[in-house]
Structure 1
């Protein structure tokens, strides 16, 4: 058995995840003052770094809808192991790893978004009225939750395939990179995130999945 559950550790991970989520909600609600854009439809000053200027400021709903496939498809990949007779006996533990990974990813993403309060690229477009109040969604650019969750699920799936020595394990890493990269690009193309937001989301999702797996390996 490649992974070994340990009740105190599982409890600590779950408490950490829910605690981070509660902190994210508290930070979001502590400042009810309305926020407005200081920009007037174009890049100004040095608030946007040269790399992020490669992004898009026009909303692309089609790209945004396609990115949703990664948001839901990436996290769903580990659930496919329930159809494998070899991994099915271990599925309760696999499901626990899956839940911990997604809980930590979502909680950290929410906390970072609420602390950063970075405006999304589309408010820099010429059609954005500078006197329009920014909603929570308008200020949730950093980091990309779509990229983080898609990457976390896909990377966890790749690790599980390798750990259980499944025939498709050699393709797991390629699949994870494809899901993460495509989702990140589509979020940038949709005008919802800057390139650095998408890259940070990929790094966070991959790091969380890797940490959960390493923490549960036999002998860890």
Structure 2
């Protein structure tokens, strides 16, 4: 994860260098240097803060484990610890993160991909930072630590109390919803839109299910991660939309003259 963060910071810095000299194309999004400093800076700041808090998270102690404190909805997750599901969730997260690359297939999005890359970097940085901050403040033990078959010699670490919320699910949702929102903004009349949104909704849901089956998270962790990631992935592009250029004044001829309409 540290490597991903370093790459994200490098990409963000590189894109900011080009941003000031780029002209704005005819796409649906408009970037400004000041605005991107705010969004990008917020993403970088939360990521740094989250990473710092995670590094200060104390190790999990056996005395911290209280199964009675797990609500009845989440308790089902304590029965799961599938390594196969855990590994598969890594792959679905990676697949979700790669979805925006499909935008290179379209001419309009390919021509605007530098701009899209900036928005995607902001999205993923902000999502990662907020996810880490929440994990570090909730300190919730992961479900697998309650497994009766867990060897007594198992050494519990700080990451074993990072259950809430699901970072895999939030990351998958952020990338998937970003992809669907951007696709819809560039190609509003495309017949592929229902399939794109279906993919965007389904990928983080599958990832979340696998995280529960893998004993890594409780159902509520997954729901919270889904909502966080989907919100960030959806609204970062929305906040960069160009203002409507449609004229407020419209007119049309009638049989006896001219009809004027002004939209407030």
Quote the offset at 1:92 in angstroms. 0.7
**How far apart, CA to CA, are the structure 2 residues paired with 1:115 and 1:130?**
27
For 1:59-138, what aligned pairs fall within 5 Å after superposition? 59-128=81-150, 133-138=155-160
Quote the offset at 1:131 in angstroms. 7.7
**How far apart, CA to CA, are the structure 2 residues paired with 1:39 and 1:23?**
25
Higher RCO (CA 8 Å, separation ≥ 6 residues): 1
1:209 counterpart = 2:240: no
- 1:46-67 per-residue CA deviation (whole Å, 9 max, x = no partner) reads x101111232433101111111
Moved more, 185-194 or 15-24: 15-24
- 1:195-215 per-residue CA deviation (whole Å, 9 max, x = no partner) reads 000111100100111220121
Match of 1:38 in 2: 63
Secondary structure at the counterpart of residue 50 of structure 1? coil
**How far apart, CA to CA, are the structure 2 residues paired with 1:19 and 1:39?**
30
Match of 1:8 in 2: 34
Quote the offset at 1:30 in angstroms. 4.2
For 1:184-195, what aligned pairs fall within 5 Å after superposition? 184-195=208-219
Quote the offset at 1:130 in angstroms. 6.5
**How far apart, CA to CA, are the structure 2 residues paired with 1:74 and 1:115?**
27
| 1:101–1:152 CA contact under 8 A, matched in 2 | yes
CA RMSD of aligned residues (A): 2.0
Quote the offset at 1:37 in angstroms. 2.3
Secondary structure at the counterpart of residue 45 of structure 2? helix
**Unaligned stretches of 5+ in structure 2?**
1-26, 245-264
**How far apart, CA to CA, are the structure 2 residues paired with 1:184 and 1:29?**
25
TM-score by length of 2: 0.76
**How far apart, CA to CA, are the structure 2 residues paired with 1:105 and 1:167?**
30
* Number of residue equivalences: 216
**How far apart, CA to CA, are the structure 2 residues paired with 1:84 and 1:151?**
22
1:22 counterpart = 2:44: no
1:53 counterpart = 2:75: yes
**Unaligned stretches of 5+ in structure 1?**
none
| 1:36–1:132 CA contact under 8 A, matched in 2 | no
Match of 1:158 in 2: 180
Max Rg structure:
2
TM-score by length of 1: 0.90
| 2:60–2:141 CA contact under 8 A, matched in 1 | no
- 1:25-82 per-residue CA deviation (whole Å, 9 max, x = no partner) reads 3323446x54302267xx633x101111232433101111111122111111012112
